[in-house]
Each structure stands twice: as structure tokens, then as C-alpha cells.
Amino acid sequence: MKIFIDSADLSEIKQAYEWGIADGITTNPSLMKKAVNKCKLDGEDINLKGYIKEILLISKDTPVSLEVTETTAQRMIEEGRKLYEMFKEFGNVNIKIPINPSFEENNLTHFDGIKAIKKLSEENIPINCTLIFTPEQALLAAKAGAAFVSPFAGRVDDNLRKRSGMNFNKTDYFPMEGISKNDNGIVSGIDLVKQCVQILRQYNLKTEVLAASLRNTRQVREAALIRADIATLPFDVIRNMLKHSQTFEGMKKFTADVVEEYKNLL
């Protein structure tokens, strides 16, 4: 399973690539806002175009997703083209398009995401379809030509727990109660990812499933077990993947047991 870093923070991105574990980057307007605000707090002047170029340089030909901000098909297509043209020299830009840009149930723009995906894909602009909350959304995005679909596992868990009146921390693993509190057959965020993988593989669709909104290491493990193509992870989740109390205890024991003769060999 490939691991992307879900961040627009240059220091986090650099670290992940220096560790040798990053296979790509996902960003969104919220992450960009967070990065810009951090630079401002540090007293740095920021040129966002130059900042994004730095991200693309660090990523070394691995995919980087940049998201559109408009909500109609034509405007998303225009923005997607503009972003792609602006940074295509780096050869690794993917455009993020929401599966459905509507703000409410009866909005007339339900299919505008699909329209934008189809048009941009036909122009050989790789698309990461975001805000996937059902397997059927993933199927439609794949049929429209998306290179990636991003099911939001963590937010599905949040929604199920909120609807059932549970008190929870967003980083908590969603327990088995999800089986009795399902959302139209989806019992957890990882279950959503699993169903997306099964459907796209069943019909030999080339679209990769990019498990998104993962908040803890157990979700990462389960995404790997169900054969998600990619997991995009916040920096803290990547760091927590290395932690275990017995690893720390083992290090203390081994270090304490080093004899002088062994030290002299080194």
C-alpha cells in the first residue's frame, strides 16, 4: 500500500520524504489555509504559487493533489485546467474534484462533479475525486475517468457516532457498535473503503482507492489489510505508526545489556 502525506506543511512534507516513506501528497483548501496561517504567524511572507512549487519539488515526481474551489462544472473545469497548466512542468499534479459540489439535497449541480471529472480526464488531466462517502459515488467517479477516488473513512465514523449520540474523540478507533448503527449498509469508514475496493476490482476499473480521513494507526492497518491502493495520512498518524510501548522497553533492555567488548567492536 502506498502512503501519501495529507498536509500542506513544508516541514512535515520534507520530513516524510526524508524518511523515505512518502509516495505522494494530498492537499485541500483547509490544509492550505493552515499552512499559510502558520507562515504568517512565523512572520514569513508567502507567495502561494512559489510555496506550491516547493511542495512539488520535494515530492520528486510522486502525485500531488491540488483542489479546485468552485462549485459548478464549468468553473471547476476552468480552475482545474488553470491549476494543471500552472504546475504541469513538474509532471505530478493531480486535480481534486468533489464527487458532488452541491450544498444541499435539491441543488441542481449534483452531476457537476462528474461532468468536470469526465471533461478533465478526457484532456489527460489526472483527477482525484474527493468527498466520497458511498461506494456508488466511487463507482460513478471511476466510470467518469477519475485516476483516484478518496473515501473519507474518518468522517464516516464521525457521522455514525454522532447520529447514534455517542461521545467520542475523533482520533478514537470506531468500535463494533458501528455494525448496529450503519449508514445505508456502511458500518464504518474502513467498511466504506473496503466496499470501494471490492467494487472497483470486481469490474477491473483502473481507478485507485485512496483511503482518506484516517485518524489513527489501526485504521491504517485495516486499510492495508483490505488492500486499499493508497492511504493518505496526517503527519501525526505517520509518526504514531512507529510507536509501541514494548518497542521502547526492548530498546531500554538491549541498550542496558551492551557489554564493553561489543562496544569496542563498533
Residue 193 in contact with residue 165, Cβ under 8 Å? no
Q: Count of CB atoms within 10 A of residue 122's CB? A: 10
Residue 254 in contact with residue 230, Cβ under 8 Å? no
Which helix (H) or strand (E) segment holds residue 4: the answer is: strand 2-6
CA distance 88 to 146: 18
Q: Count of CB atoms within 10 A of residue 167's CB? A: 7
CA distance 188 to 161: 10
Q: Which of 96, 118, 119, 194 is labelled catalytic? A: 96
Question: Residue 155, exposed/middle/buried by CB under 10 A (0-12, 13-18, 19+)?
Answer: middle
In sequence order, what DSSP letters do the residues of 172-196 get, joined into one string?
SPP-GGGGGS-BTTB-SHHHHHHHH
Any catalytic annotation for residue 206? no
In one-letter notation, the amino acid at residue 62 is T
Question: Residue 264, exposed/middle/buried by CB under 10 A (0-12, 13-18, 19+)?
Answer: exposed
In the three-class reduction of DSSP (H, G, I as helix; E, B as strand; rest coil), residue 42 is classed as coil
Pairing mode, strands 64-67 and 2-6: unpaired
Residue 117 in contact with residue 129, Cβ under 8 Å? yes
Question: Active-site positions?
Answer: 96
